[in-house]
Amino acid sequence: MSFFTSFDPSVIAPSLPFLWSGLLFTLKLTLFAMSGGIVLGTLLALARLSSIGPLSLAATWYVNLMRSIPLLMVILWFFLVIPLITGKPLGAENSALITFTLFEAAYYSEIMRAGIQSVPRGQAWAGQALGMNYRQIMAHIVLPQAFRNMLPVLLTQTIILFQDTSLVYAIGAKDLLKAAEIAGKNYNRPVEMYLFVALIYFVICFALSRLVKRLQARIAIIR
């Protein structure tokens, strides 16, 4: 019995509600880690660029540490170690939400750092000359421009994040991939299920990368 003759896509339709619930968690995890990661990453970037030595050093260490450990290990460690410290289990899904936010913050912070440095020094001077303080200059002048300049790169990182969320299957959180695995076992049709979710991952990532392309063109015009 060859692969092609036994291929049976009819098992996909009844699994759709189940796969949908998995996709919802994948999207929730992506959006949560993206927004939390960008906020935390921006603070880390400001800390790294700060003239306060210890603050800058701590942020640098955090970023370098996170970027030097495989994501899968961070996910597993966090899932296993936190309950040992706090004494109660966090649950796979909460654990995933927190881990991804902390991990992605390191990557987003490097993007925001480059973005902040892409804003000419004269812009901060102009803000200072108007009497603005550091917080006002960052909030109203530097960060909006940094964010705009880096929007395509931030989105690209989010596409990577979206794909990486599939690693949470290792701790049993029910994301799209995990849902496909379960559904595949139910019907004894893993190949069809994995192929179908691969298609979903592809369609979403491809659409997002087209969006990145369009944004890049638009930002080039604004400049």
Partner 1 sequence: MIEIRNVSKWYGQFQVLTDCSTSIRKGEVVVVCGPSGSGKSTLIKCVNALEPFQQGEITVDGISVGARGTNLPKLRAHVGMVFQHFELFPHLSIADNLTIGQTKVLGRSRDEATERGLKLLDRVGLKSQAAKFPGQLSGGQQQRVAIARALAMDPICMLFDEPTSALDPEMINEVLDVMVELATEGMTMMVVTHEMGFARKVAHRVIFMDQGRIVEDAGKEAFFGTPRSERAQLFLSKILSH
Q: Which residues of 72-96 are buried (b: 16+ CB within 10 A; e: fewer)?
A: eebbbebbeebeeeeeeebebbebb
| 129 binds partner 1, rule: CB under 8 A | yes
| 216 binds partner 1, rule: CB under 8 A | no
N- to C-terminal Cα separation, the chain: 60
Q: Which is nearer to partner 1, 55 or 132 (CB)?
A: 132
CB neighbours of residue 124 within 10 Å: 17
Contact of 196 with 189, CB cutoff 8 Å: no
Q: Is the dihedral of CA 9, 13, 18, 21 positive or negative?
A: positive
Cα(157)–Cα(155) distance, integer angstroms: 5
Q: Which is nearer to partner 1, 14 or 144 (CB)?
A: 144
Task: Give me the least distance between CB of 134 and partner 1, in Å please.
Answer: 9
Helix axes 12-49, 190-222, angle to 10 degrees: 40
| 222 binds partner 1, rule: CB under 8 A | yes
Q: Which is nearer to partner 1, 119 or 155 (CB)?
A: 119
Which string of x and - marks every residue 142-161 that binds partner 1 (by CB under 8 A)?
Answer: --xx--x-------------
Cα(12)–Cα(53) distance, integer angstroms: 56
Three-class SS of residue 45?
Answer: helix
Q: Which is nearer to partner 1, 13 or 129 (CB)?
A: 129
17, 131, 188, 220: residue in contact with partner 1 (rule CB under 8 A): 131
Q: Which is nearer to partner 1, 205 or 219 (CB)?
A: 219
Q: Is the dihedral of CA 203, 107, 97, 74 positive or negative?
A: positive
Contact of 192 with 9, CB cutoff 8 Å: yes
Task: Give me the least distance between CB of 147 and partner 1, in Å please.
Answer: 9
Size of the site for partner 1 (CB under 8 A): 18
35, 64, 94, 133: residue in contact with partner 1 (rule CB under 8 A): 133
Stretch that binds partner 1, among 16-24, 59-67, 96-104, 118-126 (CB under 8 A): 118-126
| 123 binds partner 1, rule: CB under 8 A | yes
6, 35, 117, 136: residue in contact with partner 1 (rule CB under 8 A): 136
Residues forming contacts to partner 1 in the complex (CB under 8 A) are 120, 122-123, 125-126, 128-133, 136, 140-141, 144-145, 148, 222
